[in-house]
Amino acid sequence: MIGITADCPATVRLFDENSYMSTFEAEVIECREYDGKYAVILDKTAFFPEAGGQPADIGTLTLPESNCAADVLDVRQVDDVIVHIIAKPVKLGKIRGEIDFETRYERMRNHSGEHLLSGLAHRHFSCNNVGFHLNDDGMTVDFDRRLTAEQVLSLEDEVNRIIAENPPVAAYFPDAGELAELDYRSKLELSGRVRIVVIGSGGQIYDRCACCAPHLSAAGEVGMLLITDFMNYKGGTRLTVVCGRNAYKQARTAMTNVKRIAAGFSAKASNAAKAVEDFLLRNEAEKAAAAAVCRSYIELRLSGLNQTEGNMIFFEPSLDKNSLRRLVDKAADMCSIAAGFGAEGSSGRPYVIISRMVDLRSIAKSLNEKMGGRGGGSAGMLQGTATAPEEELKNIFLKEDRF
């Protein structure tokens, strides 16, 4: 915990009045060592501390006379005091702060987009925002009600329609009387000085929410909002959302992938989904036809065999693992031990050995040693790979003195 002296004054929050401020001058009123770094307190700051699901601003603090800059690694709030965490100490006195505004601006775009989304979800579907986390790749938003795919899509459509309308976004501190009369969203019961963010004006208010974070001045600056995923979460719905530059990047990446998929099927991008669906249907039909051929082959293979007290061995390089197991399983009803071997590969031949009469687990180690194999299983079935040549495998299973 960062200690604050009792007489340390509240930090003036410049970002409350101007979210677009990227540079400022201030006084260093305290600098102390903290956890291998340094905690710096200024009389005023444009650096937003981590709060409400939004990360802290990053940037630099620079001593004007020496032009020596220290990176701001983190910003935290302790009561009414904002503390800047830096890697090296600075002197008391004048200092210049500069935030990484590109990062700040994208966070503002995402956060303002989230307000629109949450406000509409609350209005249309009585959803309460019960969780919000923003990072530099996007954000997750948790609602306390289950939403359908159609409802999620309708929210995305309406948010982007409002973004195109470009209504104003304003933040202010209403007095106690006005606050008591306001209808606004908030996760907590609030009192005292409460900052309200409003999207819209006059008779058309799209959202009104208590929030301490920097926001845009107009909704059009959000650019676009994409809901990239949604899932049931803790009895409600979790949305994964991107706005601004990230929304464009994700849309561009998705479009590039769609074009590549479409090209692979010699189709237009607009028909990519249908081309994939048609391919999957054909593939399923071909798999079903191949399975039917395998079943017919297995029945034909078995029809030429006679019941025996000895063992049977099968070399079936054209059969897949499941078909090989079906063949061996049926053959096991006709003999003592049935062994099947698939196509030879770099690690050997896959095998399956099945018996209704012999405890295979008791001879598994010996069998693997003889076959140059690795594998195991149960008393009724062994599976693995074998490296012994075909003739040696025949000798192992078909010579009576081997078991």
| Integer angstrom CA distances of residue 265 from 88, 121, 261, 275, 372 | 58, 39, 7, 6, 44
Residue 233, beta-bridge partner list: 236
CB-hemisphere CA count at 13 Å for 359?
A: 2
- Residue 162 has what pLDDT? 97
Among 88-102, 173-187, 333-347, 379-393, the least confident range: 173-187
Q: Are 61 and 69 in contact (CB under 8 A)?
A: yes
Residue 278 pLDDT level (bands cut at 50, 70, 90): very high
> What pairing do the DSSP bridges indicate for beta strands 44-45 and 59-63?
unpaired
Q: What are 7-25's pLDDT values in tens digits?
A: 788 999 999 999 999 999 9
Percent of the chain clearing pLDDT 90 (strictly above): 77
Residue 349, beta-bridge partner list: 386
Q: Are 299 and 292 in contact (CB under 8 A)?
A: no
Residue 54 pLDDT level (bands cut at 50, 70, 90): confident
pTM of the predicted model as reported, rounded to 2 decimal places: 0.74
Q: What are 221-269's pLDDT values in tens digits?
A: 999 999 999 999 999 999 999 999 999 999 999 999 999 999 998 999 8
Q: What is the mean pLDDT of residues 139-163?
A: 96
Find all residues with CB under 8 Å of 295, minimum gap 6, and list them. 326
- Residue 4 has what pLDDT? 64
| Integer angstrom CA distances of residue 146 from 111, 187, 188, 231 | 22, 18, 21, 9
Q: Are 315 and 289 in contact (CB under 8 A)?
A: no
Residue 243, beta-bridge partner list: 225
Distance CA 247, CA 163 (A): 13
* Cα dihedral value 36, 39, 45, 47, nearest 10: 30
- Residue 6 has what pLDDT? 61
- Residue 366 has what pLDDT? 92
Distance CA 349, CA 391 (A): 13
Q: What is the 3-state secondary structure (H, E, C) of the chain?
A: CCCCCCCCCCCEEHHHHCCCCCEEEEEEEEEEEECCEEEEEECEECCCCCECCECCCCEEEEECCCCEEEEEEEEEEECCEEEEEECCCCCCEEEEEEECHHHHHHHHHHHHHHHHHHHHHHHHHCCCEEEEEEECCEEEEEECCCCCHHHHHHHHHHHHHHHHHCCEEEEECCCHHHHHHCCCECCCCCCCCCCEEEEEECCEEEEEEECCCCCCCEHHHHCCEEEEEEEEECCEEEEEEEEHHHHHHHHHHHHHHHHHHHHHCCCCHHHHHHHHHHHHHHHHHHHHHHHHHHHHHHHHHHHCCCCCCCCEEEECCCCCHHHHHHHHHHHHHHCCCEEEECCCECCEEEEEEECCCCCHHHHHHHHHHHHCCEEEECCCEEEEEECCCHHHHHHHHHCHHHC
- Residue 158 has what pLDDT? 97
Percent of the chain clearing pLDDT 70 (strictly above): 97
Angle of CA points 98, 86, 56, to nearest 5°: 60
Q: Is the pLDDT of residue 61 over 60?
A: yes
Q: Is the pLDDT of residue 370 over 60?
A: yes
